[in-house]
Amino acid sequence: MSERAQCWINGRLMPGSEASISVFDHGLLYGDGVFEGIRFYQGKAFRLQEHLQRLMDSAAAIRLTVPYPQEALIQAVADIIAAFAEPEGYIRLIVTRGAGPLGLNPEPCTHPNVILIADCLSMIDERQRRQGVRLIVASTRRLPADGLDGRIKSLNYLNNVLARMEASQAGADEAVLLNRNGYVAEGSAENIFTVRNNHLFTPQPTDGALQGVTRGVVMALAAGDGLPVTACALTPYDLYTADECFLTGTGAELIPVREVDGRPLPHCPGPVFSRLAEAFADRVARETQAG
Ligand SMILES: Cc1ncc(COP(=O)(O)O)c(C=O)c1O
């Protein structure tokens, strides 16, 4: 938490240092809740509508009622951006099941908590962004859809955390998780793309990839630029033999990959990545400009 962090909890704005919720919240006790990560630029949230739609879908999937209409959440986002000292930052929007007795049953939790946190978030330093990151393929697998569907952005991130720990342990920067069938799902908090012969490939949500907002923007930008994009099953072989590889996410934005499991990739940052990173920055600037 930085000194500038602000929080909004159930309608009340406060400095991050003064924010607290009950230790009986099932979000804490069982990871029972959903969330979104949203970036703002020039004082305006990027793709807010898409984030709110995904939040509502995640909540519906776990039978959690978000106790505010969308307009109130949009206002909360505007209020917390106004309270934050900087025009650029990151918002974590969380809806928890709320406080209840010990025990998994969510029925006694009648008051979900809605929490917004505004702060800065930097996933990598400038040098890594310039030079690219090193990935490992983690032994920790993405949970199967019949356990927890990857499209639900829930507070259960433990397998992502374990994969991320594997990356650090191996001296790498980030981990890629495979699904139960050995197909590439995504990074611990990012979607992944490969490029081969100027053609982009990315895993499908049914293979365990979150339907990333940034992924969607990048796919549209690529298509608009005449670059074919295919969402399909990929294996580690496809990562090892790619011309280029990169990660996308709200926190990450676009990050080039320079190495996968010790195999250097031929281009990092590659020409396709550089084109898309520039187009993404332009799109963000255009969509968040005043007026
Ligand atoms: C597991 C996972 N995959 C992918 C993403 C990227 O999604 P988005 O671009 O919507 O931030 C995230 C972002 O939080 C994530 O947590």
Confidence label for 124 from pLDDT (cuts 50, 70 and 90): confident
Cβ atoms within 10 Å, residue 200: 22
Low-confidence winner among 1-5, 62-66, 78-82 (lowest mean pLDDT): 1-5
User: How remote is the C-alpha of 132 from its chain's centroid?
Assistant: 19
Distance 87 CA to ligand 1 centre (A): 22
Average pLDDT, the chain: 97
Sequence-distant (≥ 6) Cβ neighbours of residue 210 within 8 angstroms = 150, 151, 153, 186, 191
Q: Quick check: is 153 catalytic?
A: yes
Cβ atoms within 10 Å, residue 197: 6
Confidence label for 290 from pLDDT (cuts 50, 70 and 90): confident
Distance 188 CA to ligand 1 centre (A): 8
Q: Is residue 214 in contact with ligand 1, taking CB distance under 6 Å? A: yes
CA-50 nearest atom, ligand 1: 10
In this prediction, residue 32 carries a pLDDT of: 98
**Domain range annotation of the chain:** 6-119, 126-288
Residue 291: pLDDT above 90?
no
Average pLDDT over residues 245-270: 98
Q: Is residue 212 in contact with ligand 1, taking CB distance under 6 Å? A: yes
Q: Is residue 270 in contact with ligand 1, taking CB distance under 6 Å? A: no
In this prediction, residue 176 carries a pLDDT of: 98
Average pLDDT over residues 88-114: 98
**Angle at alpha carbon of residue 279, lines to 276 and 282, rounded to 5°:** 150
Residue 105: pLDDT above 80?
yes
- Measure the CA–CA gap between 33 and 153, rounded to whole angstroms: 9
Distance 191 CA to ligand 1 centre (A): 6
Q: Does domain 6-119 have CATH number 3.30.470.10?
A: yes
Q: Is the pTM of this model over 0.95?
A: yes
Q: Is residue 208 in contact with ligand 1, taking CB distance under 6 Å? A: no
Confidence label for 123 from pLDDT (cuts 50, 70 and 90): confident
Nearest CA to ligand 1 atom 7: 212
Average pLDDT over residues 72-92: 97
In this prediction, residue 85 carries a pLDDT of: 86
What topology is assigned to 126-288 in CATH?
D-amino Acid Aminotransferase; Chain A, domain 2 (3.20.10)
Most informative mutation of 55, 210, 254 for ligand 1 (most atoms within 8 A of CB) = 210
Burial of 190 per CB tally in 10 Å (0-12, 13-18, 19+): buried
The SS3 of residue 213 is helix
